Amino acid sequence: MPDAIVLQTPLSEQDVTALKIGDRVLLNGVLYTARDAAHKRLVELLEKGQPLPFDLSGQVIYYVGPSPAQPGRPVGAAGPTTSYRMDAYAPLLIRHGLRGMIGKGARSDAVKDAMRRHKAVYFAAIGGAGALMARSILSAEVIAYPELGPEAVRRLEVKDFPVIVANDVHGGDLYQEGVRRYARTA
């Protein structure tokens, strides 16, 4: 297995254009967290032409609702949630500069189309490996919607956060191609 690619956020167009499905990537820098409820609010702000709680340009959103942090830790378990629930909102965020998304599970055609068109990438993190992934999170700070509890928007500082490229900007889809490679027809 080839070595992982180390990237620093925010990501440039060149950064993501070089990625191909199946690449293992270690992300460093800042990630923003958002799930369904936060996405709904972000999209409402964009539609009203109002500013977002953070600048989307080149950023990566992680679909996660961490468990509460124990004393002395920045965050509890923090693995990805299923991404299709964000599909209705993601294309608009991508059009406004979002460069990457981290979650688990396949994306809709509309999201994949927006990724190709505006050069964004979708990373798969390992669902259910929340204890492992928390080790790569150095700090977590709620920056918007604290009333949403686990669904609040957080700014995470990460070091070598492990992900796999699931959809690249060239139209590759690991969820389809990986399954095709291993399926056995009767």
Partner 1 sequence: MRSVHVDDIVRTIRDLAIRANTELGDDVLRAFEAALEKEESPTGRDILKRLIENAEIARAEKIPMCQDTGFAVVFVDMGQDVHIEGGSLREAVEEGVRQGYRDGYLRKSICHPFTRQNTGDNTPAIIHIDVQPGDHFRLILAPKGGGSENMSRVTMLTPAVGIQGVKDFVVQRVKESGPNPCPPTIVGVGIGGTFEQAALLAKKALLRPLGSPNPDPELGALEADWLEAINRLGIGPQGLGGRITSLAVHILMMPCHIASLPVAVNIQCHAARHKEASL
DSSP 3: P
Q: Which of 10, 28, 11, 44 is nearest to 145 (CA)?
A: 44
User: What does the per-residue mask of binding to partner 1 show for 164-183, with x meaning CB under 8 A?
Assistant: x-x-------xx-xxxxxxx
The DSSP line for 18-76 is T--TT-EEEEEEEEEE--HHHHHHHHHHHHTTPPPSS--TT-EEE---PPPPPTT-S-S
Q: Minimum distance between the CB of residue 38 and partner 1, rounded to whole angstroms?
A: 11
Query: Considering the complex, what minimum distance in angstroms separates the CB of residue 57 from partner 1?
Result: 28
CB–CB of 79/128 below 8 Å?
Answer: yes
Give, as one character, the DSSP assignment of residue 10. Answer: S
Q: Quick one: 10 or 22, whose CB is closer to partner 1? A: 22
Name residues contacting partner 1, limited to 28-57 (CB under 8 A). Answer: 37
Choosing from 48, 49, 109, 184, the residue that interacts with partner 1 (CB under 8 A) is 184
Closest CA to 124 of 74, 170, 88, 176: 176
**Omega before 2 within 30 of 0, i.e. cis:** no
Complex with partner 1: residue 91 or 130, whichever CB lies closer: 130
Q: Which stretch binds partner 1 (CB under 8 A): 12-20, 44-52, 104-112, 137-145?
A: 104-112
Do 58 and 9 contact (CB within 8 A), yes or no?
A: yes
96 given a catalytic annotation: no
Q: Are 93 and 56 in contact (CB under 8 A)?
A: yes
Residues 72-101: x/- map of binding to partner 1 (CB under 8 A)?
-x--xxxx-xx-x-----------------
User: With respect to partner 1, which residue has the nearer C-beta, 50 or 185?
Assistant: 185
Interface pick for partner 1 out of 32, 34, 61, 66 (rule CB under 8 A): 66
Positions touching partner 1 (CB under 8 A) are 1, 22, 24, 37, 64-70, 73, 76-79, 81-82, 84, 104-106, 124, 126-132, 134-135, 149-150, 162, 164, 166, 174-175, 177-186
Which residues are part of the catalytic machinery? 39
